[in-house]
Chain A
Amino acid sequence: KAGVTQTPRYLIKTRGQQVTLSCSPISGHRSVSWYQQTPGQGLQFLFEYFSETQRNKGNFPGRFSGRQFSNSRSEMNVSTLELGDSALYLCASTGLAGGSNEQFFGPGTRLTVL
């Protein structure tokens, strides 16, 4: 099976702009989670989608939003970018089959806000 893919891999934006990141889960996986990774804060949970519904949400401001499509692909959007939004954004998919919780991560999108 193909792994989790994310596009784009790198992105440079300026403050105030908005950005949309895309994640394609492993075929058959219906749960997609998003994380922000920064050197100081580690991996912080943004939100999780399952069957086009947001099931869990982390403690991020409303500027961070997401959605999931019927084919399980997910997008996250950050509006009014701030310098502190510079980070590696990782998505992970879970099959939830056979009792497995394992999350498979994508390669990430490195966002730089200038």
Chain B
Amino acid sequence: GENVEQHPSTLSVQEGDSAVIKCTYSDSASNYFPWYKQELGKRPQLIIDIRSNVGEKKDQRIAVTLNKTAKHFSLHITETQPEDSAVYFCAASIRSGGNEKLTFGTGTRLTIIP
């Protein structure tokens, strides 16, 4: 089955700096890669996603890049703010006939230092 590895497990950056979280996946058939943000005591929420036919996607301060050949994808957060502090999860899935099975990475705890 699919295996998703995520690095680093913890990340501290100064407010205003950029943060990068990287994930690799094992199944070359995976075609959907979402990123979820989970604040302390809250449910995971989708912040951005990318499909395998796109190499990069950006939404304001957040961007995701995908390298299908190398089977890795990354989350980039620019101009970090204190409210960006949370646990971030990457995931991968194969969307086939509507089947949904997300395999998650183990998470990155991002701390923004004021």
Contact surface of A with B, Cβ cutoff 8 Å? 31, 33, 35, 41-45, 48, 50, 55-56, 58-59, 90, 94, 96, 101-108
Contact = CB atoms under 8 A, between A and B. Distances in A.
6 contacts: A42-B105, A42-B106, A43-B44, A56-B101, A101-B34, A101-B95
A45 B46 contact: no
A43 B34 CA distance: 14
A101 B93 contact: yes
Contacts, number: 62
Contact of B100 (A48, A90, A108): A48
Interface of B: 1, 32, 34, 36, 42-46, 49, 89, 91, 93, 95, 98-107
Main DSSP-derived SS at the A contact region: strand
A43 B101 CA distance: 12
Nearest to B93: A101
A105 B100 contact: no
A90 B93 CA distance: 18
Contacts of B99: 48, 50, 55-56
B16 to A, nearest CB: 29
Given A101-B93, A101-B95, A108 B43 contact: yes
B100 A96 contact: yes
Contacts of B1: 59
Contacts of A96: 98, 100
A35 B89 CA distance: 13
Contact of A33 (B42, B102, B105): B102
B98 A31 contact: yes
Nearest to B97: A55
B30 to A, nearest CB: 11
Contacts of B45: 105
Given A42-B104, A43-B91, A101-B49, 14 more contacts: A31-B100, A35-B104, A41-B106, A42-B106, A44-B104, A45-B102, A48-B99, A48-B101, A50-B98, A101-B32, A102-B34, A103-B100, A105-B36, A105-B43
